[in-house]
Homo-oligomer: A and B are copies of this chain.
């Protein structure tokens, strides 16, 4: 199919598709002549994934490119590709640099200790092995630091229920992932499901908050 058809089928303007091609988010089409290229279903699927990452997952273009590059990096084996791709995903506000406190102020140090205790408490030794390198770990430390800086509770026992929920979510995630047999499908699914289930989860939490608030405080509370 031509670029125009790719556009109508995906609902993305040709200008935007050209932009994605330039940015390396979409592999170039098979060149037919000097001025025409042919795209296939894989391009369409990739384009949809890119849109989902950017619009739903709010992943910046640069991170999306890293993720997608990792997905098709032939120099890595399946598991490494998966790891690299998810690793490159959204870091959230990394360490809030320059925000009054440096990277190792007392609050952040305390947050790190809390997080380490939490990970030990729930027996996630694999995660602890990675230490401060994992984006998710740093995101967690930053968030916990911000919470305590604001004076909100975030001791180990406060965080434990969230860790338990995270554990269940991960099991559900992996269950979904295991439906895919082909390595390529699994790679793309890992990225897509990680990102696209985030709004699902957050929305469900909000709705459940309203529900629970209503249950505890009566109509009108919560949301």
Residues of A within 8 A of B (CB): 10-12, 45, 48-49, 51-52, 55-56, 58, 77, 79-80, 82-83, 86-87, 89, 92-93, 96, 99-101, 119, 124, 126-127, 130, 134-137, 139-140, 142-144, 146-147, 149-154, 158-159, 161-176, 178-179, 189, 192-194, 196-217, 219-223
Contacts and interface: CB of A to CB of B under 8 A. Distances in A.
A143 to B, nearest CB: 4
A127 B210 CA distance: 7
A52 to B, nearest CB: 5
Nearest to A138: B203
Contact of A194 (B140, B144, B163, B206): B206
Q: Which of A93, A189, A210 lies at the interface centre, i.e. has the most chain B CB atoms within 10 A of its CB?
A: A210
Given A82-B222, A126-B214, A163-B208, A92 B12 contact: no
Quickly give the copy total for this chain. Answer: 2
B99 A174 contact: no
A118 to B, nearest CB: 8
B56 A146 contact: yes
A52 B173 CA distance: 29
Given A139-B203, A199-B143, A202-B139, A166 B208 contact: yes
A207 B93 CA distance: 17
Give the interface centre of A134, A174, A175 by most chain B CB atoms within 10 Å: A174
A77 to B, nearest CB: 8
Nearest to A217: B79
A220 B80 contact: yes
Contacts of A176: 152-153, 158
Nearest to A80: B220
B200 A162 contact: yes
